[in-house]
Amino acid sequence: QVQLTESGGGSVQAGGSLRLTCTRVEQTFTTSAMAWFRQRPGQDREFVAAISWSGETIEYADSVKGRFTISRDRSKDTIILQMNSMLPEDTAVYYCAHGVAVTNMDFSYHDWGRGTQVTVSS
């Protein structure tokens, strides 16, 4: 069991940046992976990025490569999603997720935060 809380969402102009933070509170001790997904109204959740808790394995969706960076802040036990050069297509609710291994499949993650809204205007 892992409790997740997202923060840092908001509104930004196209080309701007936002920094999302996922606070991870472990209820059990286990090897795990963290991921960011996003969802627009009427659409399925879309994979954004994932990182192993050790930070040694990282994956990005093609749509965000070169623009977004996922990282772990070991001192605060949080996962960061730095979003640069943002596009209107990035507008969505962003969710932090926890699973046992890095993957881009949403069904592989069993713990989810409540989400934070990100809006990018043109």
Q: What are the tens digits of pLDDT across the range 6-24?
A: 999 999 999 999 999 999 7
Note the Cα 4 to chain centre separation in Å.
11
49 class by beta-carbon count within 10 Å (0-12 exposed, 13-18 middle, 19+ buried): buried
Other C-beta atoms lying within 10 Å of the C-beta of residue 17: 12
* Residue 73 dihedral angles phi and psi, to the nearest 5°: -100, 100
Q: Indicate whether 31 pLDDT > 90.
A: no
Residue 69 predicted with pLDDT over 60: yes
Phi, psi at 57, each rounded to 5°? -120, 125
